[in-house]
Amino acid sequence: MKPLLPVFCRPLGYTVLLISMIIPFALFFMGKITDNNLLFYKECVKLLMMMGSLMILFAFSKNETKATEEIRCNATRNAMFLTVLFVFGTMLFKLASGDVMTVDTSSFLTFLIINVLCLEFGTKKAKIDNIFKK
């Protein structure tokens, strides 16, 4: 996968993820989240997390090479496999517990977060491999 965004979008994506994790707690403690607007805030936070994850995935890295593109492709492949396992396991658990009415709406967000984790693991692993090969 070719990167689409400039280098500064990578740390900006992590900042967006951090902010989207802090916002719900801050709003709750300020008393802004009620039963009437909970769904709105939940969906807004999910969108922020998706935007942050996409910024991380599609941003150039500092030392972008062909190997980095290969790591990005492998991370996406691994994330698809792990997301299918996660969603399937969640569905089996809900079926076993008798909760067949709940619908999972965060599968894409789960995929993006797993993809970011796979990408970070792959880049760190490649960096360590290069250190030991020299």
**H-assigned helices in the chain:** 9-29, 38-57, 66-97, 107-133
| 104 touches 80 (CB < 8 A) | no
Long-range contacts of the stretch 29-33 (C-beta < 8 A, 24+): none
The model's pTM is 0.77
| Encoded tokens for 20 | 């989207």
Domain ranges of the chain: 9-133
Residue 61 carries which DSSP code? P
pLDDT by residue for the chain (134 residues), tens only, comes to 677 888 898 899 999 999 999 999 999 999 999 889 988 998 899 899 999 998 888 888 887 778 888 888 888 888 888 888 888 888 888 888 877 677 666 778 888 888 999 988 988 998 898 888 87
In the block, tokens 């997390």 appear at: 49
